[in-house]
Every structure is written in C-alpha cells, then in structure tokens.
Amino acid sequence: MSAVEVRQLGIRGAYEFTPAVYKDERGSFSSPYQGAAFEEALGKPLFPVKDVSHNLSAAGVLRGIHYTTTPPGRAKYVYSPYGRVRDFLIDLRVGSPTFGRWETTEIGGDNCRSLYVPVGVGHAFLALEDDSMVVYLMSEGYVPANEQALSPLDPELGLPLAGVEFQQSDRDSAAPTLAQSLERGLLPEYEKCLQVEEQLWP
C-alpha cells in the first residue's frame, strides 16, 4: 500500500489526498484513490460510484464554479491524471460554518493529488497546461436540469483570478454571483446536504 498524505481542508467535510508517486525511466505509478486512507479520514469508504466522467482542457480554460441542486446533490472525488490545474473548492451550503470559504490547490499528473468534494460544495478549476485532464467519480449520475453554475469572478468570493487570461463557456461567463444565487434560492442548505450525504452509504 502506498503512503498517502491526508489534509483536512478549511471547508467542513472536504479533504485532500496526496499519494506517493513512483517514477523511473519507464514513467510513473501512483494510486490517487486508496480506500484505507479515505476511510481513516472520513470514517467510511468512498460512496458507491454511479458516474465516472472526465474533461480535457487547454491551458487557460476556466471551468466552474459548478454545483448540483440538493436534493438530489452529488458528492465528488476528483483528480487530474495528466497535465496540471489550479483547483478551487467553494462552500456554497447555506448555514454551513464555512459558508463562502474557498480552498485552492494544484492537482495534476506530477503529484496525483485528489480531492473529496462534499455534497453542496462548489468546484472550479483553471487549466495551467494544455491537455489537462480532470476525472470525476460521482455519487449520482448527470442530470442537466440539476446542474448549477456560479460566477468564479464574483468579488465577494475573491478567488485569485485577477490578471489571469482565461477562457470560459458562455454558461459560466453568464453565471450569477453568490448574492444573486442566494437571493434566488439556488444555493443548497447545509442540513439538507448533510442528510443527502449520509444517505449515500447504504
């Protein structure tokens, strides 16, 4: 079993996992998800995976902030096997003790770092290299009507994106701010997120 460095993030319920990476003249080997380390950190195994997806991005592509209407909600386990991205987690759970707080870290093929994203926590990333791939293991399947977006450029959030040249989708560039989403009742409630997350494990 490879060694895994586990870090509990400043967003309640979110974790970062950094496994050992073994390199030689042939290439490298690592295990971005290790059940023993995950269960020790969260007190339970990874949720039953119902969807595995990935995207590929050119350098400068900014995706997110994305989250899922709760209920149904979706928990995510995220890693980048190739390339390098600056990843952001944002607590969008109304009533959470860490509501509005964000965390950023670099994930990529060099460190094989992964992130556990609890239900109701928003996710975004900026690709730092061409052909950067991000893989998602998710607790629920993709339902377009349930997927929401929030502006990563909202000054109230203060993500460190000033002066960065990036490319967004039309949907992401038109996404509402945190205050607008709160006013429209789009953001998930903390207690409902906890209830949904607890029900992920049979």
Active site residues: 66, 136
State CA 48 to chain mean position distance: 17
Measured between alpha carbons, how far is 178 from 183 in angstroms, rounded to an integer? 9
List, as one string, the DSSP characters of 23-47. Answer: EETTEEEE-S--HHHHHHHHSSPPP
Burial category of 111 from C-beta neighbours within 10 Å (exposed 0-12, middle 13-18, buried 19 and up): middle
